[in-house]
Amino acid sequence: MSQALQNQITRDQYLALEEQSGLRHQFLDGEVFAMTGGTLNHSRIARNIVSAVMNRRSRVRPCEPLNSDMRIHTPSGLDAYPDVSVFCGSPDLSDNDRTLHNPVVIFEVLSPSTEGFDPGDKFMHFRSIPGLSDYVLVDAEKVLVERFRRSADGVEWVLHEYRGLAEILPLPVIEAELPLGEIYRDISLPA
């Protein structure tokens, strides 16, 4: 997470800052953190995920992917903008329809500036969302997708790794399977 801009403000003050600012910020424990921009690979991967989910939407269980413009608020107090979030059914929104409370899947595209926070502290906060089923980390510098899936009893999170472009990322909660080849379409990776 980047350096805090201000210390100890309320969530209402944070929301007012977000309304006035042209930038997005994360909020946690009274601190506001500016979000950094992503690389071309980062942007393409996020776009590819949204597209892949849209192309596989179930008629039985309507789910919708949202890009990083949608803020997520966790019961543990984090306000963040994941790269992609997916909800099913009706969205549970607040803050003038700018905050989603009921994602079932969250995707984060890892970059050098976020690879320490996203799998650790951020994931800890996202786990406090009762309906979240899957937390998916996608590496922007190599073919590696890590899917954390909540166990049936809701107590544990199980890690599954996918490392090949021919592999399929299963997401039963949204009744979809995403080929890694689609997630990494148009991505330039180091040899």
Distance between first and last Cα of the chain: 28
Q: For residues 52 and 44, is the Cβ–Cβ distance under 8 A? A: no
pLDDT at 112 over 50: yes
Residues 6+ apart with CB under 8 A from 71: 18, 24, 79, 80, 81, 95, 98, 99, 100
pLDDT at 5 over 70: no
Across the range 110-127, mean pLDDT stands at 74
pLDDT of residue 141: 92
pLDDT of residue 140: 93
- The CATH H-level superfamily of 38-183 is tt1808, chain A (3.90.1570.10)
Q: Residue 159 and residue 60: Cα distance in Å, rounded?
A: 27
pLDDT at 33 over 60: yes
pLDDT at 117 over 60: no
Which range is least confidently modeled, 73-77, 114-118, 152-156, 159-163? 114-118
pLDDT of residue 118: 56
pLDDT of residue 35: 76
Comparing 145 with 116, the larger pLDDT belongs to 145
pLDDT band at 120 (very low <50, low <70, confident <90, very high): low
Percent of the chain's residues with pLDDT above 70: 91
Q: Which long-range contacts (CB under 8 A, 24 or more apart) does 131-134 make?
A: 131/102, 131/103, 131/104, 132/103, 132/104, 132/105, 132/106, 133/104, 133/105, 133/173, 134/104, 134/105, 134/106, 134/171, 134/173
> pLDDT tens digits for 47-57?
999 999 999 98
Q: Cβ atoms within 10 A of the Cβ of 72, count?
A: 22
Task: Give the residue extent of every domain in the chain.
Answer: 1-35, 38-183
- The residue ranges of DSSP E strands in 22-175, in sequence order, are 25-28, 31-34, 63-66, 71-73, 79-80, 84-88, 93-94, 99-100, 105-110, 134-139, 145-150, 157-162, 168-171
